[in-house]
Amino acid sequence: MDGRDSPLARAAAEPLAAPEGAAAPAPATGGLLRFLTCGSVDDGKSTLIGRLLHDCRALLEDQLAALAADSRRHGTQGDDLDFALLVDGLAAEREQGITIDVAYRYFATPRRKFIVADTPGHEQYTRNMATGASTADLAILLVDARKGVVTQTRRHATIAHLLGIRHLVLAVNKMDLVGFGEPVFAAIVAEFRAFADRLGIGEVVAIPLSALAGDNVTAPSARMPWHAGPTLLAHLETVEVDWDRARARPFRMPVQWVNRPDQTFRGFAGLVASGVIRPGDEVRVLPSGRTTRVARIVTMEGDLAEAAAGQSVTLTLADEVEAGRGSVIAAASAPPQVADQFEATIVWMDDAPLHVGRGYWLKLATQTVTATVAHPKHVLNVNTLEHLAAKTLEMNAIGVAEVRTDRPIVFEPYADSRTLGGFILIDRLTNRTVGAGMLHFALRRSQNVHWQALEISREARAALKNQKPAVLWFTGLSGSGKSTIANLVEKRLHRMNRHTFLLDGDNVRHGLCRDLGFTEADRIENIRRVGEVARLMADAGLIVITAFISPFRAEREMVRRMLPEGEFLEIFVDTPLEVAEARDVKGLYAKARRGELRNFTGIDSPYEPPEAPELRIDTTRTSPEEAARLVVARLLGED
Amino acid sequence: MTASAAHLSQTRLPPRPLDHLDRLEAESIHILREVVAECERPVMLYSVGKDSAVMLHLARKAFFPAPPPFPLLHIASGWDFADVLAHRDRMAAAAGMELIVHHNAAAAAAGVNPFDTPTPVYTRLMLTEALVAALDAHGFDAAFGGARRDEEKARAKERIFSFRSASHAWDPKAQRPELWNLYNARKNPGESIRVFPLSNWTELDIWAYIAREGVPLVPLYFAAERPTVRRGNLLLVVDDDRFRFLPGETVEPRWVRFRTLGCYPLTGAVESRAATLAEVMAEMQAVRVSERAGRAVDHDEAASMERKKQEGYF
Ligand SMILES: Nc1nc2c(ncn2[C@@H]2O[C@H](COP(=O)(O)OP(=O)(O)OP(=O)(O)O)[C@@H](O)[C@H]2O)c(=O)[nH]1
Ligand SMILES: [Mg+2]
């Protein structure tokens, strides 16, 4: 075998690094193109990637031998090579003949380097398609020539477009099965073009292919002389991608980590999201809003005169300003916005649907906050692009909704910045990534970055009362003793001249939360409202006592996060179910057991005990009086 | 370390256009820093090979002027090349990092060795289980590994942040979506994370980067005359006098180098005269087999990697 022909040889023919100080001529081609294959199940995505790798001679001898052996064992092509097996690397994928998760492959031609993500077509694995699409510059959308444009074709086109992929190739595959006829191709292209127009997709390059036979993949097909356009590879090699878009925008660097090896050095480490920075440049640190100058750009090789989008660097600043993980260092003259209410498009990715009102972790760049999502304004019918009304977001739904964060975050519209506009939502109980979102705009901009300081602060109000505000949050099963102990606690505090207020579950349900039932969603909303009221009362300087079953950890955490550190005391009234049920003061357990009461905690609705409560009271050993004494002692720091 | 913070060079390097190695480097550094920012007790698995060398180099860059804020962990099978051990100690010291060496002494004492024990069993006991035991013993919640997606089909499917159950198993069908460069590092009780900062690097990228950055490598990557034995299609190097010969085998001096390093009785060398980095890279251009072809470990069966990963192999 001729060594000069090997894939490694051809990739290596490119210069390893530009010479120091060279100007930056942006070649039309060259560079690294990231693309993905997508489209409906069995349309030939994996086969196409395998074919591309094969025809670009990116496969080594032992890999080809393994493919031949694999093809005989698992293949769908008799004795011929089944190229899909090159990328379908999981045992389950080979057995089922489908792609389940995204595979990343790497190859190069003399003109360009490529990273390709082969994504699954099956609707169940849409989230894996989105994973592959989120980092791609270009999408190849496959269509089976026999089947034409189907729902998954439209869904994937929509997701690729939403994620901001600017280059789309419509690959009409399996042309061998329709006699390589132009009319079939033309009809599919016309149908897709109409859909793309409504979606707002600009250019679409359509190519008729046979991934299996290789027609129009790397070499023009003699069987489709009517196709005047480029082969797939020729297009991939020459499509002009504007990689410098981020560089041309104002400077932003989300701080990942503060580097403090000793007293003399304090550096802010991060990946430059956009723009260019030089020592001496004026920057604004958000969300605090303080301005300063960049002192140095520190790297192991030495200080840099300049750093630009795409570089991981460490900056030092001229002044001591408050900054840490989650801060964004930005061009002082053109800082990004700071806000806590947004409109966003969300792609839901979890089997469990969105819980409107529940707190999720929202991670955007290096900021992690608690966020709630309101009822969707609409969800998208991916076939008709109609806006449909919806109460929630189910798995694979694409919807537009309001998102509120528990504190202001630094952001930019996704259209301007993937880094500062793209976010994921994480379930706080399962820790799964349940959604991905793209921010459009702020609904209520936080004025001027700085908060409008109220003349009388919460501290001042509390000081007048000679106390520290707090929320004593009792949680536990129905009949565990929450209300009894809470009452005793309030009496004790009252005797001590403390200003208190007791919010009791049953009482609140007669007014504030009269409109709510006992479904999971309603219980979440119930706790959210009580949490907000408790917070207002704490702001007013009161010691707030609440007695709610509050069965879900996520909601208790949500309330904890509404309050300043240390002001939320979670008190777990720990009574075993048998004991509470045996007491059954209100006769509710009996009713629930008879099936007359649904969603009853402990019976047919779960109770999630606190993992690290400030105080746990075992009511099988502690009397209510003793429990109240313990709570007060804990509150006043006397134990 | 305090000294180096104060004595940083103040001359400024002029800007140059970013090439694809710069982008790979920036991505890897970003990953390393995310883990340090979000995990409680990270560790870097350091195998001393070329990928580990690059990963360590990237870690030093990521946290400079501080030393990388986590220890290095080496799983020593007891059958490591002597050069590897020497290089390991040198590099850990140069980086100013704590080095933890873990060895499955119980299995070794029970007679497990690369000659008598079937290779899959040997690797499981001396590498996979030893690694799992070390991670558990130290309570590491995140471990960096130098695996690349271009190495193997199952690797090509793995996320950059790859979760393991309490029993260190990988569930390829339940990987979290991983969008943009946003990593969800939140673990459930007992879970730990394997993090692969070099996921998007190819073998050629690794070599090009080593050349560009002058990353120090174990001499075994460069050709020299070494005592060798041919066994099946593997060319083994007799690294010490514990080597066990099969009937009819003889030691022959040959010019060889390694593309990948493992336990010396199980790792095949390639015949080569390439004694410098430039020569190695020139030879790479003619190469028609993948680096894994030189490992006895991976030949067992097609789906072996996925199975091993499910058991906790890196
Ligand atoms: N005749 C013909 N068959 C093809 C062509 N391309 C793919 N196929 C066959 O179509 C079947 C499905 O191909 P895959 O590549 O696995 O499809 P996929 O789009 O990757 O499927 P998922 O990833 O599971 O969504 C296989 O049997 C292929 O051999 C083609 O151009 N012509
Ligand atoms: Mg596929």
- For residue range B140-199, list pLDDT tens digits in order: 999 999 999 998 888 899 999 999 988 888 888 889 999 999 999 999 888 899 999 999
Sheet hosting strand A32-39, strand order edge to edge: A103-108, A113-118, A32-39, A138-144, A167-173, A204-208
Residue A136 clears pLDDT 70, i.e. is over it = yes
Whole-number average pLDDT of chain A:
89
CB-count exposure of residue A319 (10 Å: 0-12, 13-18, 19+): exposed
Residue A288 clears pLDDT 50, i.e. is over it = yes
CA A79 – ligand 2 centroid, Å: 20
Cβ atoms of residues A59 and A67 within 8 Å: yes
* Rounded Cα distance, A259 and A255, in Å: 10
CB-based contact (8 Å) between B271 and chain A? no
Q: Which of A174-178, B150-154, B264-268 reaches the highest mean pLDDT?
A: A174-178
CA A85 – ligand 2 centroid, Å: 9
Angle at A470 (CA atoms; ends A469, A475), nearest 5 degrees: 160
What's the distance, CA A81 to chain centroid?
A: 38
Nearest to A310 among B18, B155, B203 (CB): B18
Residue A450 clears pLDDT 80, i.e. is over it = no
Q: Which of A37, A42, A77 to mutate to test the pocket of ligand 1 (most atoms within 8 A of CB)?
A: A42
CA A189 – ligand 2 centroid, Å: 22
* Rounded Cα distance, B201 and B163, in Å: 21
Cβ atoms of residues A34 and A117 within 8 Å: yes
What's the distance, CA B304 to chain centroid?
A: 18
Catalytic residue (one of A288, A550, A605, A623):
A550
Give A462's pLDDT tier (boundaries 50, 70, 90).
confident
Q: What is the pLDDT of residues B272-282, one digit of tens each?
A: 999 999 999 88
Provide the token pair at B22: 């710069």
Residue A416 clears pLDDT 50, i.e. is over it = yes
Residue A451 clears pLDDT 50, i.e. is over it = no
Residue B174 DSSP one-character state:
G
Lowest mean pLDDT among A379-388, A513-522, B302-311: B302-311
Instruction: Give the count of beta carbons closer than 10 Å to the beta carbon of residue A465.
Output: 15
Cβ atoms of residues A555 and A606 within 8 Å: no
At residue B303, the pLDDT reads 58
Provide the token pair at A57: 């001679």
Q: Which of A43, A47, A54 to mutate to test the pocket of ligand 1 (most atoms within 8 A of CB)?
A: A47
Task: Report the relative pairing of strands B12-13 and A303-304 from DSSP bridges.
Answer: parallel
Find, among A171, A245, A90, A598, the residue nearest to B153 by Cα: A90
Nearest protein Cα to ligand 1, atom 8: A44
At residue A507, the pLDDT reads 80
Secondary structure in 3-state letters for A605-638:
ECCCCCCCCCEEEECCCCCHHHHHHHHHHHHCCC
Residue A11 clears pLDDT 60, i.e. is over it = no
Give A140's pLDDT tier (boundaries 50, 70, 90).
very high
A418 CB neighbours in chain B (<8 A) are 180
At residue A28, the pLDDT reads 38
Residue A1 clears pLDDT 80, i.e. is over it = no
Cβ atoms of residues A161 and A131 within 8 Å: no
Cβ atoms of residues A534 and A471 within 8 Å: yes
At residue A413, the pLDDT reads 95
Give A571's pLDDT tier (boundaries 50, 70, 90).
very high
- For B131-208, list the strands marked E by DSSP: 142-144, 161-164, 192-195
Helix locations, A410-564, DSSP H: 418-421, 458-464, 482-495, 505-508, 520-539, 553-562
Q: How far is CA A336 from CA A33, A312, A361, A419, B257, in A?
A: 29, 20, 22, 12, 53
Cβ of B177 within 8 Å of Cβ of A302? The answer is no
At residue A257, the pLDDT reads 97
CB-count exposure of residue A639 (10 Å: 0-12, 13-18, 19+): exposed
Lowest mean pLDDT among A17-31, A294-308, A321-335, A467-481: A17-31
Annotation says A550 is catalytic: yes
* Rounded Cα distance, A342 and B185, in Å: 25
Cβ of B66 within 8 Å of Cβ of A269? The answer is no
At residue A595, the pLDDT reads 84
B26 CB neighbours in chain A (<8 A) are 271, 310-312
Q: What is the mean pLDDT of the segment spanning A243-249?
A: 88
At residue A459, the pLDDT reads 78
* Rounded Cα distance, A526 and A249, in Å: 44
String of DSSP letters for A266-291? EEEEEE--BSEE-TT-EEEEETTTEE
Lowest mean pLDDT among A332-341, A552-561, B6-15: B6-15
Instruction: State what percent of residues in chain A have pLDDT above 70.
Output: 93
* Rounded Cα distance, B284 and A8, in Å: 7
* Rounded Cα distance, A413 and A342, in Å: 10
ipTM computed for the complex: 0.90
Ligand minimally distant from the alpha carbon of residue A76:
1
Residue B299 clears pLDDT 70, i.e. is over it = no
Residue A503 clears pLDDT 70, i.e. is over it = yes
CA A47 – ligand 2 centroid, Å: 7
Nearest to B30 among A100, A271, A433 (CB): A271
Q: How far is CA A32 from CA A16, A48, A239, A240, in A?
A: 13, 20, 11, 11
Residue found by looking up tokens 């050095």 in the block: A265
Instruction: State what percent of residues in chain A have pLDDT above 90.
Output: 68
Q: At what angle do helices A520-539 and A553-562 cross, to 10 degrees?
A: 20
| Cβ-based contacts under 8 A for chains A and B | 246
Cβ atoms of residues B280 and B221 within 8 Å: yes
Instruction: Give the count of beta carbons closer than 10 Å to the beta carbon of residue B265.
Output: 24
Q: What is the mean pLDDT of the segment spanning A466-492?
A: 93
Provide the token pair at B276: 């410098």
Cβ of B64 within 8 Å of Cβ of A106? The answer is no
* Rounded Cα distance, B141 and B146, in Å: 17
Q: Which value, in Å, is the radius of gyration of the alpha carbons in chain B?
A: 20
Nearest to B1 among A100, A261, A431 (CB): A261
- Total residues belonging to chain B: 314
Cβ of B13 within 8 Å of Cβ of A259? The answer is no
A315 CB neighbours in chain B (<8 A) are none
Give A221's pLDDT tier (boundaries 50, 70, 90).
very high
* Rounded Cα distance, A366 and A253, in Å: 10
Question: CB within 6 Å of ligand 1 — which residues?
Answer: A 41-47, 76-77, 84, 98-99, 120-122, 173-174, 176-177, 210-212
B176 CB neighbours in chain A (<8 A) are 432-433
Residue A368 clears pLDDT 90, i.e. is over it = yes
Residue A574 clears pLDDT 70, i.e. is over it = yes
Task: Report the relative pairing of strands A138-144 and A167-173 from DSSP bridges.
Answer: parallel
Q: What is the pLDDT of residues B240-251, one digit of tens each?
A: 999 999 999 999
Q: What is the pLDDT of residues A95-105, one digit of tens each?
A: 888 899 999 99
Q: What is the mean pLDDT of the segment spanning B13-18?
A: 81
* Rounded Cα distance, A336 and B72, in Å: 39
Q: What is the pLDDT of residues A12-62, one digit of tens each?
A: 333 333 333 333 333 335 788 999 999 999 999 999 999 999 998 888 888
* Rounded Cα distance, A559 and A605, in Å: 21
Provide the token pair at A211: 């991934």
* Rounded Cα distance, A202 and A224, in Å: 26
Cβ within 8 Å of A, B 144-173: 149-150, 152-157, 172-173
Buried (b) or exposed (e) across A385-424, using 16+ Cβ within 10 A?
eeeeebebbebbbbbbbebbbeebbbbbbbebbbbbbbbb
Residue A202 clears pLDDT 60, i.e. is over it = yes
Provide the token pair at B85: 């051990």
- Best mutation target, A115, A257, A272, A611, to test chain B (most B CBs within 10 A): A257
Phi, psi of B79 (to 5 degrees): -125, 35
Helix locations, A294-413, DSSP H: none
Give A596's pLDDT tier (boundaries 50, 70, 90).
confident
Residue B2 clears pLDDT 70, i.e. is over it = no
Cβ of A304 within 8 Å of Cβ of B15? The answer is yes
Instruction: Please tell me the pTM assigned to this model.
Output: 0.79
Instruction: State what percent of residues in chain B have pLDDT above 70.
Output: 88
CA B44 – ligand 1 centroid, Å: 40
